[in-house]
């Protein structure tokens, strides 16, 4: 029986590319989304059309009850869990920190950091050999912003991703002897709609010249690294934070 994988924020961008690649690698894919049901269902339809198994499940990753329901549904409908990709994330609008609202700061940290921590905890409860689970792999999607700092754009977002890096390091140590590998991918500028959502449709064109490779990544280039980390080829990779950022 194929293992299932949960991809949070799988309705578009990096998450959708990861969901599609996971299906190609033989996972039954739970495509989580927050609000874009049509987009998530389109990813599921693509996977099914290619002969794979997939299911779209709405859940807000900042909500613990939603996360329990997400994991329960994935396991019941798709079979034993093998991997969890904590990809769903947001930025607020581009602004200096002193011009960012308390509400935007709280929401960004709630979704990106608290949401990742809650999903990691649920994944451990279901995967860890300590609880009779089969073991598995967790990949957290961080950001190059965690080491650059996000000045003049989104320091709160960068800090939330710094938290994701620390969470990854700590959890990899905590469950390293329980059959679970925990790693992070730190994408650089990637060609998705996140920039438009942040109110900066010109951001990619503006930023590309600052990148050694002079271009943004495609979502598929990030997905390749994420899915490699779930694979047996990465069987001794644990606690790693893999920069996929074109040298930036
Ligand atoms: P995107 O195109 O904006 O997609 C974001 C995804 O996250 C969507 O599927 C969205 O679902 C989902 N999402 C948002 N809030 C959620 C919540 N509360 N609960 C569940 N799902 C939620 O973003 P992306 O560019 O692909 O980014 C994916 C990840 O990579 C994020 O963690 C981001 O921080 C990180 N990253 C991106 C870049 C980049 O340049 N694009 C660079 C570094 C890191 P709905 O569509 O249903 O709202």
Q: What is the pLDDT of residue 198?
A: 93
Active site amino acids: 157
Interhelix angle 13-24/37-49, nearest 10 degrees:
20
Kind of pairing between the strands at 4-7 and 28-33: parallel
Each residue of 192-244: pLDDT tens digit?
Answer: 999 999 999 999 999 999 999 999 999 999 999 999 999 999 999 999 999 99
Cα 78 from Cα 10, distance rounded (Å): 16
Share of the chain above pLDDT 70, in %: 100
Residue 61 φ then ψ, to 5°: -70, -10
Distance CA 141, CA 164 (A): 8
The CATH number of residue 140's host domain is: 3.40.50.720
**What mean pLDDT, rounded, does the chain reach?**
97
Report the distance separating Cα 28 and Cα 5, nearest Å: 6
Lining residues, ligand 1, CB within 6 Å: 8-9, 11-15, 32-36, 39, 60-62, 87-90, 111, 141, 143, 187, 189-190, 192-194, 197
Q: List the residue whose alpha carbon is closest to atom 46 of ligand 1.
A: 36
Which residue has the least CA distance to atom 36 on ligand 1? 143
Retrieve residue 118's tokens.
């809650």
Which residue range is the domain that position 9 belongs to? 4-244
Q: pLDDT digit string (tens) for 72-122? A: 999 999 999 999 999 999 999 999 999 999 999 999 999 999 999 999 999
The total of structural domains in the chain comes to 1
pLDDT digits (tens, 9 = 90+) for 162-202: 999 999 999 999 999 999 999 999 999 999 999 999 999 99
Asked if residue 2 has pLDDT above 90, the reply is no
Q: Which of 89, 140, 220 to mutate to test the pocket of ligand 1 (most atoms within 8 A of CB)?
A: 89
- Say whether pTM exceeds 0.95: yes
Going from the Cα of 131 to the center of ligand 1, the distance in angstroms, rounded, reads 31
> Does the pLDDT of residue 1 top 70, yes or no?
no
Separation of CA 129 and ligand 1 centre (Å): 30
Position 161 pLDDT exceeds 70: yes
| 137/5 Cα distance (integer angstroms) | 9
């Amino acid at each position: 029986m194929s293992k299932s994988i949960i991809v949070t924020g799988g309705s578009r961008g990096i998450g959708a590319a990861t969901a599609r690649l996971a299906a190609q690698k033989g996972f039954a894919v739970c495509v989580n989304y927050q609000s874009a049901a049509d987009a998530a269902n389109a990813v599921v339809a693509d996977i099914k059309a290619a002969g794979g198994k997939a299911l779209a499940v709405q859940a807000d990753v900042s909500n613990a009850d939603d996360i329990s329901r997400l994991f329960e549904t994935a396991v019941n409908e798709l079979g034993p869990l093998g991997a969890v990709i904590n990809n769903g994330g947001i930025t607020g609008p581009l602004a200096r920190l002193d011009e960012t609202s308390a509400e935007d700061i709280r929401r960004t940290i709630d979704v990106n950091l608290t949401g990742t921590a809650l999903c990691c905890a649920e994944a451990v409860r279901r995967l860890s050999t300590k609880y009779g689970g089969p073991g598995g792999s967790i990949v957290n999607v961080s950001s190059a912003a965690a080491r650059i700092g996000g000045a003049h754009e989104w320091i709160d977002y960068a800090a939330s991703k710094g938290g994701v890096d620390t969470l990854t390091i700590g959890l990899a140590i905590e469950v390293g002897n329980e059959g679970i590998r925990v790693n992070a991918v730190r994408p650089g500028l990637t060609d998705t709609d996140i920039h438009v959502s942040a109110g900066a449709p010109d951001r990619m064109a503006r930023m590309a010249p600052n990148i050694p490779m002079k271009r943004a990544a495609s979502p598929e280039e990030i997905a390749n690294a994420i899915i490699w980390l779930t694979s047996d080829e990465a069987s001794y990779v644990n606690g790693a934070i893999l920069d996929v950022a074109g040298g930036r």
